[in-house]
Structure 1
Amino acid sequence: MPLTPLDIHNKEFGRRLRGYDEDEVNEFLDQVIKDYESVIRENKDLSNQIFNMQEKLDHFSNIEETLSKTIIVAQEAADEVKHNAKKEAQLILKEAEKNADRIVNDSIVKSRKIALEVDELKKQAAIYRARFRTLVEAQLDLLNQDGWEALEKRNEMLAEREREAKEVYTERV
């Protein structure tokens, strides 16, 4: 067990003949006591400082660990957000491609329908022109001929031209 300043203070030395000067020894012991007390106080102060520093170090270590975990969680969250954003972008792109295909297909169907309608109108126009031509020619023939015979011929000719127009129409269809 280490000496305390009280142990040093209470220490009694035996006396002998031709021994040391008692006052000098006492003065020296007083000086040793003061120095020893000073060293003990300094040691306590340093121990307290070490304890405080250790507490601060533990506190900062906890903060560092918490920050590290927070950074890891934030990185994982950022990665997940990035991954989700890529998925969403792919879905949007696929949806846009589907819409574009639908629009193109609708346009193709409409253009085919219009082309069929145009063909039908051309056929109808050709039939109308043929009928009109037949009518005009019949009227001209009627003007050039007199009598009922001409009317009969005209009717026959109209019927023949109408058959021809129908044949032209059915050939084109």
Structure 2
Amino acid sequence: MPLSPIDIHNKEFRRSLRGYNEDEVDDFLERVIQDYEALIRQNKQLEEEIARLNEKLAHYQNLEESLSKSILVAQETAEELKNNAKKEAQLIIREAEKNADRIISEALNKARKVALEVEEMQKQAAIFRARFRSLIQSQLEMMESGDWESFERELARREVAAAEPDFA
């Protein structure tokens, strides 16, 4: 067990005939006690400083560990966000491509229908022109033929017959 200043102060030496000078020994012991107490105080202060610095070190180590974990979490989160953004972009692109394909398909179908309708209308117009031409030609032929005069005579006869009183 280490000596304390009280142990040094209370230490008594036996006296011998040719011993040391008591006053010198007491003065030396007093200086030793003072130096020893100073060393003990300094040692205690240094131990407190070490404890304080160890606490700070532990705090900084915890902080460093927390920061390292935070950096890892941030990196993982950033990577996850980047991957999610890529996936979302791919989904948007696929959806846009599907919409574009659908729009193109609908446009092609409408164009085909319009082309068929135009073709049908052209056929109907050709048929109408042919029939109209045929009608006009038949009417011209009728006017140029002698049938027209007989038609006029028949019409006049009917008018006269309708005007005569019926005595039956």
If the length of structure 1 is used for normalisation, what is the TM-score? 0.79
Distance 1:16 1:131 in 2: 164
Q: Give, in angstroms, the shift of residue 66 of structure 1.
A: 1.6
Percent sequence identity is 61
| 1:27 corresponds to | 27
Give the alignment's Cα RMSD to 1 decimal.
Answer: 1.9
> Displaced runs of 4+ in structure 1, greater than 4 A?
none
> Structure 2: which 5+ runs fail to align?
152-168
Distance 2:28 2:135 in 1: 156
| 2:163 corresponds to | none
- Count of residues in Structure 1 that have an aligned counterpart in Structure 2: 150
Q: Give, in angstroms, the shift of residue 14 of structure 1.
A: 3.0
Residue 15 of structure 2 aligns to a residue whose secondary structure is coil
Residue 105 of structure 2 aligns to a residue whose secondary structure is helix
Q: Residue deviations 1:100-156, cap 9 Å, x none?
A: 1011000101111111111111111111111111122222222222138x99xxxxx
Residue 2 of structure 1 aligns to a residue whose secondary structure is coil
Q: Give, in angstroms, the shift of residue 47 of structure 1.
A: 0.8
| 1:44 corresponds to | 44
Aligned ranges 1:8-157 → 2 under 5 Å:
8-147=8-147
> Structure 1: which 5+ runs fail to align?
152-173
If the length of structure 2 is used for normalisation, what is the TM-score? 0.81
Distance 2:51 2:140 in 1: 131
